[in-house]
């Protein structure tokens, strides 16, 4: 049974000390992050308390919706791009970059499409669901900036098109589309002896299988998330706290400074 902060497992500081000692003992660790690490940068998650799916239908992020109603699809993604474009990394992103820099973390596998891990200085980042800052032609694959596409949507009310006639769409993985980076993420997780989950409901598959793979191969699983997840029961430690204060506390416990 996992220990849980708030369920009789001791103080917050004590809990973070235990994460620090798990990180010290690990040879090859990987962080698996979700929308919850970016809420402190002002980006709403999907399934948390203020989640986007409380206001919008998840069908808007499906391939079939993009093909059926490209204008409404682009209105939705223009809104998402505008919410993400000005965001800057928060202490949680910076702490993971510092953990990598100090040799405590081998890689970050993220479900996020906001690009904030790389902006924070993380070097080995797998963006499982792509990155919203670029768009590509759904027909020939040629790449443009999403900013350019959003300008067309907002100023002219047009669906952005490529010179070849195909529709441009954000370079993100929509529901009903394959997760092309999954194999690379799987290889990293098979070699890892610790998965540090940060800010994910662990409900979107196949991405959420990554922590399960580490655990099934005998590795440790630490979950830092504001709400319960389906994997809590199998975790070695659950920290039910905000990502930024928890990760900042882990840096202090490892004595690698403030962020
Ligand atoms: P999710 O919305 O399903 O779950 C987010 C989890 O984070 C929730 O359980 C919530 O309790 C927790 N959380 C929220 N704020 C937190 C905080 N400050 N500290 C700790 N925990 C916090 O997100 P998911 O699991 O990443 O899966 C949803 C999909 O949403 C992903 O595929 C991703 O591509 C996409 N998404 C990305 C972004 C982004 O790029 N920033 C934003 C929204 C959704």
Q: In the chain, what are the domain boundaries?
A: 1-42+90-129+179-259, 44-86+131-172
pLDDT at 61 over 50: yes
d(C-alpha 212, C-alpha 26), whole Å: 17
Across the chain, mean pLDDT equals: 93
- Cα of 156 from ligand 1 centre, angstroms: 32
Q: What is the β-pairing status of strands 237-239 and 3-4?
A: parallel
Residue nearest atom 9 in ligand 1 by C-alpha distance: 201
Of residues 1 and 133, the one with the higher pLDDT is 133
* Predicted pLDDT of residue 55: 83
> Residue 8 — pLDDT band, cuts 50, 70, 90?
very low
Pocket test for ligand 1, best of 37, 46, 54 (most atoms within 8 A of CB): 46
Give Cα separations from 230 to 29, 202, 217 (angstroms): 21, 7, 19
* Predicted pLDDT of residue 10: 65
pLDDT at 215 over 50: yes
Percentage, residues of the chain above pLDDT 70: 96
Pocket test for ligand 1, best of 82, 185, 199 (most atoms within 8 A of CB): 199
Asked if residue 91 lies in contact with residue 107, where contact means CB atoms within 8 angstroms, the answer is: no
CATH code matching the domain that covers 44-86+131-172, chosen among 3.30.1600.10, 3.20.20.70, 3.40.710.10, 2.40.110.20:
3.30.1600.10
> Residue 121 — pLDDT band, cuts 50, 70, 90?
very high
pLDDT at 153 over 90: yes
Domain 1-42+90-129+179-259 has CATH 3.40.50.300: no
Domains 1-42+90-129+179-259 and 44-86+131-172 share a fold: no
pLDDT at 115 over 80: yes
Asked if residue 30 lies in contact with residue 192, where contact means CB atoms within 8 angstroms, the answer is: yes
pLDDT at 127 over 60: yes
């Amino acid at each position: 049974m996992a220990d849980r902060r708030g369920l009789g497992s001791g103080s917050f500081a004590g809990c973070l000390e235990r994460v620090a000692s798990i990180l010290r003992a690990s040879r090859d660790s990987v962080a698996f992050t979700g929308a919850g690490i970016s809420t402190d940068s002002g980006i709403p998650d999907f399934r948390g308390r203020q989640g986007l799916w409380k206001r919008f239908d998840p069908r808007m992020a499906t391939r079939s919706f993009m093909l059926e109603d490209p204008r409404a699809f682009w209105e939705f993604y223009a809104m998402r791009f505008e919410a993400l474009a000005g965001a800057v990394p928060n202490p949680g992103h910076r702490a993971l970059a510092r953990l990598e820099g100090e040799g405590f973390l081998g890689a970050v596998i993220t479900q996020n499409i906001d690009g904030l891990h790389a902006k924070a200085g993380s070097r080995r980042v797998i963006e499982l669901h792509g990155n919203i800052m670029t768009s590509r032609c759904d027909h020939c694959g040629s790449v443009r900036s999403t900013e350019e596409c959003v300008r067309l949507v907002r100023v002219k009310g047009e669906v952005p098109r490529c010179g070849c006639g195909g529709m441009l769409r954000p370079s993100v993985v929509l529901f009903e589309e394959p997760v092309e980076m999954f194999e690379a993420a799987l290889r990293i997780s098979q070699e890892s002896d610790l998965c540090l989950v940060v800010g994910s409901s662990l409900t979107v598959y196949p991405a959420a299988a990554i922590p399960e793979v580490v655990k099934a191969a005998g590795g440790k699983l630490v979950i830092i998330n504001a709400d319960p997840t389906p994997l809590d029961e199998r975790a070695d430690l659950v920290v039910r706290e905000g990502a930024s204060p928890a990760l900042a506390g882990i840096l202090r416990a490892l004595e690698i400074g403030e962020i």
